[in-house]
Structure 1
Amino acid sequence: MKSPLIVALDYADTAAALAMAELLDPRQCRVKVGKELFTASGPKVIEQLQNRGFEVFLDLKFHDIPQTVAKACQVAARLGVWMLNVHASGGKAMLEAAREAVDGVTASGHQPLLIAVTVLTSLDADALGQLGVHDSVKLQVERLAALSAEAGLDGLVCSAQEASRLKQLHPEFCLVTPGIRPAQHGADDQRRTMTPGAALAAGSDYLVIGRPITAAPDPAEALSALLAACAG
């Protein structure tokens, strides 16, 4: 069984990202390329990571008019990424356009997974209220999940605290969970966090982990320890 761990390569340049990748085993994890690294390095870093054996989650959270998002998703799919994402709050037409654009693109021998962001794990009820959303985080997540299901997406980015309910509502979805922290690690800038074992037990399929691995004195050892925690 493939590892559920996705290591976030949140770096400002290619050299730092590749240096970290060299310390990791692609048999033990996938990697995530987000806005910072992609803006600094562009598509080339994806190719370089793939050449090192890593499957890449391109975490750019596309959110724009349907045609613009569709074109961006198609280009991303042609890079051969394993997974990419969009914001569910972009609306059903945007989600459907993204779905149609990715369908049939198999640059790496398989079609990439297309998932939607529901509510960022840095947001809580107070933060949602500031945006004019006065329902609970739980209700907003479920509303956006239903919209994503109607549009035919493959899964969601969500907090592990919502994973159990989302698996009940949408058992076909793969759930990708950021905000994962070992029991002894602080929450950093995440507000809705959970340990790896608890997140998997709650229904998460993939766990995005950054600083607990990348800032560790020995990233390879930290990755192995987290894998053991997942298994246990």
Structure 2
Amino acid sequence: MSDMNALSPRDRLIVGLDVSSRQEAEAIVTELGDEVGFYKIGYQLGFAGGLPLVGELTRMGKKVFLDLKLHDIANTVEKGIESIAGLGAAMTTIHAYPQVMRAAAKAADGTNLCVLGVTVLTSLSDEDLRESGYGGSVSDLVELRARQAADAGIGGIVASAQEAALVGALLAPGMALVTPGIRPAGSEAGDQKRVVTPGDALRNGSTHLVVARPIIAAPDRLAAARAILAEMQDA
């Protein structure tokens, strides 16, 4: 991922397989065909028998973002990252605490796994952070975590595109900036509080976009994916 500018929209779009069965996930992959080359597997599918899909999708020529948001003592994180790399995942997530990021960077060194630090979940607001005991704003914490991620040497961060322009300059060359909470114009925000359109996300500096509900819940998933790819191409 050394040259993010060379990535095509197909390389940048990550479709979230946020479903509860392997059968449904496989049906989505089949329906989207060659249009989509990158998929996210998170808790919902992973703990419903979806982990073997990491290897299967990889053998099909797809990339997989295994979104498990690890956060534990250094040794446990290291062993977890080693196992995730062994599955063949292209990306995975940890919570962006310095000790966790340093342990993950050590474990991922020499592998093809891009470790992403989750800065602040896109469902959280300034008020949510205050309730959790943080004194600053969302943007303050995202900026701090971005600096710490670059210092730790991990592959990138996860942040809302609303913060992308702020943190992009803080990242080392080649680091990924992955944005969830993407919603095409006119779609429902759902439980996300910091959402943007695909075009705005790319213009703000995001390198990869995670899209789930706007595609997998659409009446015509292939048409929805194509529309988002077209918007990304225009941007």
Instruction: Classify the TM-score, shorter chain.
Output: over 0.9
What are the residue-to-residue correspondences of 1:52-201 with 2, within 5 Å? Answer: 52-89=60-97, 92-105=98-111, 111-172=112-173, 173-201=175-203
Secondary structure of the equivalent of 1:56?
Answer: strand
Percent of pairs with identical residues: 43
TM-score (norm 2): 0.92
Q: Deviations over 1:195-226 (max 9, x none)?
A: 00000000000000001100111111110110
AA matched with 1:139: D
Q: CA deviation at 1:76?
A: 0.1
Q: Residues of 1 paired with 2:35 and 2:197: CA distance? A: 22
Q: Aligned equivalents of 1:69 and 1:171: distance in 2?
A: 23
- The equivalent residue for 1:28 is 36
Residue in 1 that maps onto 2:56: 48
SS of the residue 2:210 aligns to:
strand
Say if 1:18 and 1:49, in contact at 8 Å, map to a contact too: no
Task: Evaluate the alpha carbon distance shift between residue 42 and residue 209 of structure 1 in structure 2; reply closer, same or farther with a 3 A threshold.
Answer: closer
Which stretch shifts more, 121-130 or 36-45?
Answer: 36-45
Q: Could you give the per-residue CA deviations for residues 77-121 of structure 1, whole angstroms, max 9, x where no partner exists?
A: 0111111110013xx22211111111123xxxxx11111000000
What SS does the corresponding residue of 2:33 show, helix, strand or coil? coil
Q: Cα distance 1:182–1:40, how it changes in 2: closer, same or farther (>3 A)?
A: same
Q: Which residue of 2 aligns with 1:217?
A: 219
- The CA deviation at 1:166 is 1.0
Further displaced range: 53-62 or 93-102: 93-102
Cα deviation, residue 132, structure 1: 0.4
Query: How many angstroms apart in 1 are the aligned matches of 2:179 and 2:67?
Result: 12
**Cα separation, 2, equivalents of 1:206 and 1:144:** 18
Unaligned ranges ≥5, structure 1: 106-110
Matched, 1:10 2:10: no
Q: Could you tell me how far 1:27 is from its partner in structure 2?
A: 4.9
Q: Deviations over 1:135-167 (max 9, x none)?
A: 011001111111111110111000000001111
How many equivalent pairs are there?
225
- Bigger shift: 142-151 or 191-200? 142-151
RMSD between superposed Cα atoms in Å? 1.3
Q: Which amino acid aligns with 2:203?
A: A
Aligned to 1:24, the other structure's residue is in SS state helix
- Which stretch shows the higher mean deviation, 26-35 or 69-78? 26-35
Q: Which runs of 5+ in 2 are unaligned?
A: 1-6
Q: How far apart are 1:42 and its partner, in Å?
A: 4.7
Of Structure 1 and Structure 2, which has the larger fraction of its residues in helix? Answer: 2
1:71 aligned partner, one-letter code? K
Q: Assess if the C-alpha contact under 8 Å between 1:35 and 1:59 holds in 2.
A: yes
Q: Is the 8 A contact 2:57 2:64 kept in 1?
A: yes
SS of equivalent to 1:194: coil
C-alpha distance in 1, partners of 2:18/2:177? 21
